[in-house]
Homo-oligomer: A and B are copies of this chain.
Amino acid sequence: MRILILGGDGYLGWPTAMHLTTKGHDVAVVDNYLRRRLCREVSVEPLFEVPDLHQRCTLWENTSGSRIPVFIGDLTKWEFVEEVFSGFLPEAIVHYAEQPAAPYSMLNRQAAALTLHNNLSVTANLIFAVRKFCPRVHIVKLGTMGEYGTPNIDIEEGWLEVEHKGRHHKFLYPRQASSLYHTTKIMDTDLLWFYVRTWDLRVTDLMQGPVYGLFTDETDNDDRLLPFFNYDEIFGTVLNRFVVQAVTGHPLTVYGKGGQTRGYLNIRDTLSCVRLSLENPAERGELRIFNQFTETFSVNELAKKVQAVGNSMGLGVKIEHVENPRIEAEQHYYNPTHTGLLELGLEPHHLTEDTLSRMIAFVRAHKGKIKNDQIYRKVKWA
């Protein structure tokens, strides 16, 4: 299948590109290095340097024999979008091309405006490009479990059948998020859902939980093929941050009471979920929604897991409850459904001691590169 990956340089985009070529697909990648630029601007560089996208693709071609065409440019600009779709007419598209960090979106007005403009404009341009160039293409778009928030009822897989005063209606599951970033993902869903109904688009929306890890089958022989590994509080996801804190002797920073519960998944499972969705596409006129995570943990549970494995490796890990910079419920009901991807064949990689100890060992080997001032800066929501 000819697959175009928007945001192909990112934490998930690049591993996805490699993974899909090993499964026999033709892949092209698009990126404007926004994530790299923003990390540099707020001075939160990843743990280790990664080659640029052209270099990565050359390395990967030398390793695997698979060539991945690269388009460098800004998908908020229609002229560039036309250039990409004229150059590589896809059968499927994976849309990762968004500003992906909730804390970044709350930094200040400029960061908020950038997040809103970038995320909505790219999604809109994608829709218009599909309409113009390839109306039957299947769009796999990364959403987030954060769109649902933490309602006091079960979170279903995308839709909710409501009974009200004796009548029934099936709604898109009502959403309310706890950051501007997550709110832009709700808007993406609104936009895609409108055009699915109006123009018969085919869309799979993957409501993904926080991802952890960095190793995939494709990175095993060459560390230069690893994805970004951010460990700061702005672009780093929580488990990756805890691993770095454990290695450096920084207490694990649990926000508030630590009862915040979310659905997590290993980066390997992200790749499988995206591939399974591509290989089993949605129908025309269908917005298909999967909740993409494999296990739920509270922040306290995650911290205790890292502490236990870290201590077994002689690290002496402490946990500290710090003032919560976010505005969110610290104790809440959380029972999200997630059967769709399992039915497509997902075989989850759970958060085992082995997985954690491999991550900790890798970070320990790069300990000299960790910048302590990146670990915890107290970016506040309010």
List residues of chain A with CB under 8 Å of any chain B CB.
78, 109, 112-113, 116-117, 120-121, 124-125, 128, 132, 151-154, 160, 162-165, 167-169, 171-180, 183, 186-187, 190-191, 193-194, 197-199, 327, 333, 381-382
A198 touching B382 by the CB < 8 A rule? yes
Q: Could you list some 19 contacts between A and B, CB below 8 A?
A: A112-B124, A113-B124, A116-B191, A120-B187, A152-B167, A154-B164, A154-B165, A162-B174, A163-B163, A167-B333, A176-B194, A177-B194, A178-B197, A183-B190, A183-B191, A183-B194, A190-B190, A197-B327, A199-B382
Q: Are B153's CB and A198's CB within 8 A? A: no
Q: How many angstroms between the C-alpha atoms of A268 and B288 in the bound complex? A: 44
Cβ of A155 to closest chain B Cβ, rounded Å = 10
Given contacts A151-B169, A174-B174, A382-B198, A120 and B116 within 8 Å (CB-CB):
yes
- When distances are taken between beta carbons in the complex, the residues of chain B under 8 Å from A165 are 153-154
Q: 10 tightest CB-CB pairs across the interface, nearest first? A: A171-B174, A153-B164, A152-B169, A151-B169, A153-B167, A187-B187, A174-B174, A183-B194, A109-B128, A153-B169
Q: How many copies does the complex hold?
A: 2
Q: How far is the CA of A21 from the CA of B188 in the complex (A)?
A: 40
Give every chain B residue within 8 A of A169 (Cβ-Cβ): 151-153
Of B78, B160, B194, the contact of A164 (CB 8 Å cutoff): B160
Taking CB atoms, residues of chain B closer than 8 Å to A193 are 176
User: What is the minimal beta-carbon distance from A75 to any residue of chain B, in angstroms?
Assistant: 13
- Closest-by-CB residue of B relative to A200 is B382
Knowing A117-B121, A381-B198 touch, does A172 contact B176 (C-beta < 8 A)?
yes
- New contact pairs (11) apart from A153-B167, A178-B197, A183-B190, CB-CB < 8 Å: A113-B121, A113-B125, A113-B128, A117-B117, A152-B169, A153-B168, A154-B164, A174-B174, A176-B197, A183-B191, A190-B190
Q: Closest approach, in angstroms, between the C-beta of A206 and any C-beta of chain B?
A: 20
Q: How many whole Å from A82's CB to the nearest CB in chain B?
A: 11
Q: Which of B124, B160, B183 contacts A174 (CB 8 A)?
A: B160
Question: Which residue, A117, A124, A162, A173, has most C-beta atoms of chain B within 10 A?
Answer: A162
- Give A29 to B361 CA distance when docked, in angstroms: 62
Q: How far is the CA of A153 from the CA of B121 in the complex (A)?
A: 33
Whether the pair B198, A190 counts as a contact (CB closer than 8 A) is no
Q: Which B residues touch A152, using CB under 8 A?
A: 167-169
Residues in chain B near residue A381, CB distance under 8 A? 198
